[in-house]
Amino acid sequence: MAPDLNTTLSKKTFVFGMKVWVFTGVLVGVFIVIVLVVLSICVTSRRKSRRVSGMLPLSRISIASKEIKEIGVDHVSAIQQGPRPHDGIETESEKVLLYSNKAYDYSISGSDDHTEIYAIGSGEGSKEASVLHRPSDSIPPDTSPLAGLPDFSQLGWGHWFTLRDLELATMHFSNDNIIGEGGYGVVYRGQLMNGTPVAVKKLLNVGQAEREFRVEVEAFGHVRHKNLVRLLGYCIEGTHRILVYEYVDNGNLEQWLHGALSQYGYLTWEARIKILLGTAKALAYLHEAIEPKIVHRDIKASNILIDDEFNAKLSDFGLAKLLGAGKSHITTRVMGTFGYVAPEYAKSGLLNEKSDVYSFGVVLLEAITGRDPVDYGRPTHEVNLVDWLKMMVGSKRSEEVVDPNIERKPSVSELKRALLTALRCVDPDADKRPKMSQVARMLNSEENPIPRQDRRPRKGHATATKMESGKQERGPRRHK
Ligand SMILES: Nc1ncnc2c1ncn2[C@@H]1O[C@H](COP(=O)(O)OP(=O)(O)OP(=O)(O)O)[C@@H](O)[C@H]1O
């Protein structure tokens, strides 16, 4: 038998006179190579299709500028007394990031207006644009909070987490890791497997369909600004809907003004203005630099998170609404937080970005005075912060409204600047409220004086006039 097999295998074939055993070996080898090639093609195309399905159509959202621009801001000692939970602010230049995600070909819609938003603060005027443009890759890739996570679960803008990933990150959503609870869910502190600290928001009673949830979330995932909390990714599994944000480690403005963190000392005037200015820039970006614009709908002190350099990070897009191009407003169920909601929105549900401007004005007044927007513990005429403020300014008692916990009081002009800005934001007539880019300019130090047209007394707008002339004003009726 063996000699027969030997003979058979040693016979020559018709292919180049190769012996049978050599020919068989070659065939087996070719077969293995083909199988390997087919397998690798399958794996590559699966990865691609998964990434593509995680992307948003390019038309969905566009970013106004591809560049990173830098804005010089004088930093200040942020808190004035007591043990500090973190170091104060050191003098350095503040970088406002507005950059493209390389995976997308964002369109550039930089109208003059938009450019203005990011040119505030340097005092360098038109030079700034040419000096400060930087290539988008000047953010080192290894600083990405998502670096080192599995490639297959990268979305176009962030990360698609599994429930298991987030269970591991939060010690199985342990109660010890709960940071707080809002109207939409519980927030846990967590750590990704690459070491990045995160805030994990587990939504309750998600009524939205899976696709809508994902589309909305991806719209916000593309939004990037230094003063916006970054959404790093999400998880959809079964009935779970979970959002994963960058972790901001120095509490929120509400805690600093009225809550637990006031035990560490009180924010200085300068720190308050810095936080409000950052918030104004974030809103200017949402309202004026991207398409469709985003109306936040829940601007309030507890949604302004603070990092360890006392930069504002606007958070909580749970209520935010996209406002498509050409739409002046949308009608929606009134949501938001009592004391912060604009009167026209509360009355009719008509929502546009001017509703955010109103709420921002309330937060600014809150920071100036250290008072809650609505405080039933005070005498009747002081319960509503906006009404009381208007009454005080109208009675030429502006200096009495400053938070008594602020040691170094603002100068008369600093106070006037802040009050004037706030009162214009809370104008009962939404059309008369400034745009957030104007608000940011108005708040931004003596170097950028309030533009003439903003000072000019306007018919029906008593507030600005009274601030200038000191005449008495009767506050408008309460809306809520
Ligand atoms: N990215 C984050 N980093 C650190 N803490 C956060 C982060 N996001 C939220 N928090 C904290 O978690 C807590 C709950 O936040 P959440 O936004 O859910 O509710 P809220 O703002 O208190 O109320 P509401 O749901 O009415 O807006 C707050 O104390 C908030 O400061």
What is the pLDDT at residue 143? 58
Residues of the chain by 3-state class (helix, strand, coil), percent to 5: 45, 15, 40
Whether residue 126 is predicted with pLDDT greater than 60 in this model: the reply is no
Helices (H), 54-191: 112-119, 127-132, 163-169
Burial zone of 20 (CB within 10 Å; 0-12 exposed, 13-18 middle, 19+ buried): middle
pLDDT tens digit sequence for 178-196: 999 877 789 999 999 989 9
Decide: 266 in ligand 1 pocket, CB within 6 A. Answer: no
Lowest pLDDT segment from 19-23, 127-131, 205-209, 271-275? 127-131
Decide: 442 in ligand 1 pocket, CB within 6 A. Answer: no
The strand ranges marked E within 13-114 are: 62-63, 69-71, 94-96
Burial zone of 171 (CB within 10 Å; 0-12 exposed, 13-18 middle, 19+ buried): middle
* Amino acid at position 174, single letter: S
Decide: 298 in ligand 1 pocket, CB within 6 A. Answer: yes
Q: Please determine, for the modelled complex, whether the ipTM score is greater than 0.95.
A: yes
What is the pLDDT at residue 287? 93
pLDDT tens digit sequence for 383-412: 999 999 999 999 999 999 999 999 999 999
Residues 6+ away with beta carbon under 8 Å from 253: 275, 301, 302, 304, 305, 306, 312, 363, 367
Q: How many CB atoms lie within 10 A of CB 131?
A: 12
Decide: 187 in ligand 1 pocket, CB within 6 A. Answer: yes
What is the pLDDT at residue 298? 85
* Cα(187) to centroid(ligand 1), Å: 6
* Cα(275) to centroid(ligand 1), Å: 17
* Cα(210) to centroid(ligand 1), Å: 23
- Summary mean pLDDT of the chain: 71
Whether residue 85 is predicted with pLDDT greater than 60 in this model: the reply is no
Burial zone of 17 (CB within 10 Å; 0-12 exposed, 13-18 middle, 19+ buried): exposed
Tell me 476's DSSP state: P
What is the pLDDT at residue 252? 95
Mutate to test the pocket of ligand 1, among 244, 254, 275, 316 (most ligand atoms within 8 A of CB): 316
Decide: 250 in ligand 1 pocket, CB within 6 A. Answer: no
Owner of token pair 């074939």:
13
Decide: 340 in ligand 1 pocket, CB within 6 A. Answer: no
CB 201 within 8 A of CB 185: yes
Distance CA(117)–CA(106), nearest Å, equals: 19
Mean pLDDT of 436-449: 81
Decide: 229 in ligand 1 pocket, CB within 6 A. Answer: yes
User: Which residue's C-alpha comes closest to atom 27 of ligand 1?
Assistant: 182
DSSP 105-157: -PPP---HHHHHHHHTTSS-TTHHHHHH-B-GGGS-GGG-TTTTS-GGGB-SS
What is the pLDDT at residue 386? 96
409 is in an annotated binding site: no
Decide: 129 in ligand 1 pocket, CB within 6 A. Answer: no
Q: What percent of the chain has pLDDT over 70?
A: 63
Q: HSE on the CB side for 433, CA within 13 Å?
A: 25
Q: How many CB atoms lie within 10 A of CB 247?
A: 20
Distance CA(340)–CA(365), nearest Å, equals: 11
| Token output for 139 | 């953010």
* Cα(261) to centroid(ligand 1), Å: 15
* Amino acid at position 176, single letter: D
* Cα(207) to centroid(ligand 1), Å: 20
Whether residue 459 is predicted with pLDDT greater than 50 in this model: the reply is no
Distance CA(127)–CA(104), nearest Å, equals: 29
Mean pLDDT of 360-365: 98
Catalytic residue among 165, 298, 307, 356: 298
180: enclosing H helix or E strand:
strand 178-181
Q: How many CB atoms lie within 10 A of CB 451?
A: 11
Mean pLDDT of 73-85: 48
Mutate to test the pocket of ligand 1, among 177, 252, 256, 306 (most ligand atoms within 8 A of CB): 252
| Token output for 191 | 């750590």
What is the pLDDT at residue 30? 86
Whether residue 6 is predicted with pLDDT greater than 90 in this model: the reply is no
Whether residue 265 is predicted with pLDDT greater than 60 in this model: the reply is yes
Whether residue 74 is predicted with pLDDT greater than 60 in this model: the reply is no
Ligand 1 atom nearest residue 187's Cα: 12
In total, the chain counts a number of residues equal to 480
Mutate to test the pocket of ligand 1, among 315, 319, 340 (most ligand atoms within 8 A of CB): 315
Domains and CATH numbers, the chain: 159-246 (3.30.200.20), 250-443 (1.10.510.10)
Lowest pLDDT segment from 95-109, 136-150, 306-320, 420-434? 95-109
* Cα(218) to centroid(ligand 1), Å: 20
Lowest pLDDT segment from 58-62, 139-143, 457-461? 58-62
Q: How many CB atoms lie within 10 A of CB 204?
A: 12
Distance CA(313)–CA(230), nearest Å, equals: 9
Decide: 247 in ligand 1 pocket, CB within 6 A. Answer: yes
Residues 6+ away with beta carbon under 8 Å from 129: 69, 115, 119
Distance CA(290)–CA(325), nearest Å, equals: 10
Lowest pLDDT segment from 14-18, 93-97, 258-262? 93-97
Lowest pLDDT segment from 87-91, 179-183, 275-279, 362-366? 87-91
What is the pLDDT at residue 317? 66
Residues 6+ away with beta carbon under 8 Å from 298: 316, 318, 319, 320, 335, 336, 337, 340, 359
CB 220 within 8 A of CB 307: no
Ligand 1 atom nearest residue 249's Cα: 4
What is the pLDDT at residue 424? 97
* Cα(180) to centroid(ligand 1), Å: 6
Q: Is 113 a catalytic residue?
A: no
Ligand 1 atom nearest residue 305's Cα: 31
Q: Is the pTM of this model over 0.95?
A: no
pLDDT tens digit sequence for 130-173: 222 223 323 344 457 777 776 656 666 788 899 999 999 999 99
Residue 344 pLDDT level (bands cut at 50, 70, 90):
confident
Q: How many CB atoms lie within 10 A of CB 349?
A: 14
Q: How many CB atoms lie within 10 A of CB 317?
A: 24
Q: Which residue has the higher pLDDT, 249 or 78?
A: 249
pLDDT tens digit sequence for 278-336: 999 999 999 999 888 888 888 999 999 999 999 999 987 655 565 554 555 555 555 66
